[in-house]
Amino acid sequence: AQTVTQSQPEMSVQEAETVTLSCTYDTSESDYYLFWYKQPPSRQMILVIRQEAYKQQNATENRFSVNFQKAAKSFSLKISDSQLGDAAMYFCAYRSQGGSEKLVFGKGTKLTVNP
């Protein structure tokens, strides 16, 4: 079974600075998808960014980018120019390409943005 590990329960960053959230996963599959979801205090689960394992190019979405290292099974999220609205829980998630459609989540990282 696949597992996702987020080793940083909490992180903090100064407004306008850059922060990187770590995620590692364990799988024997070669094709899969990876996601970062954001959960603000309002409880919504918001998709931040996604990556296909077959793509070597790292995904980017405005201030959000990932560092995908397939051999190391690592999928970190970098937030540039941090804003107060980025404060939230961030969850890394894994999904098989050919098997179950379910998302396997990490335990999350709580990000605090200091003004």
Partner 1 sequence: DAGVIQSPRHEVTEMGQEVTLRCKPISGHNSLFWYRQTMMRGLELLIYFNNNVPIDDSGMPEDRFSAKMPNASFSTLKIQPSEPRDSAVYFCASSPSLNRQFNQPQHFGDGTRLSIL
Q: Do the strands 74-79 and 64-69 form a parallel or antiparallel pair, or are they unpaired?
A: antiparallel
Q: Which is nearer to partner 1, 57 or 101 (CB)?
A: 101
Rounded Cα–Cα distance for residues 107 and 115 (Å)? 26
Give least dist CB 14 to partner 1, A: 28
SS3 breakdown of the chain: % helix, strand, coil, rounded to 5?
5, 50, 45
Binding letters toward partner 1, positions 7-46, x by CB under 8 A: --------------------------x-x-x----xxxxx
85 SS3 class = helix
Quick check: 91 binds partner 1 (CB under 8 A)? Answer: yes
Length of the chain: 115
Quick check: 83 binds partner 1 (CB under 8 A)? Answer: no
Q: Which of 24, 50, 65, 80 binds partner 1 (CB under 8 A)?
A: 50
Angstrom distances, CA of residue 106 to CA of 22, 94, 114: 10, 9, 24
Q: Which is nearer to partner 1, 35 or 82 (CB)?
A: 35
Binding site for partner 1 (CB under 8 A): 33, 35, 37, 42-47, 50, 52, 91, 97-98, 100-108
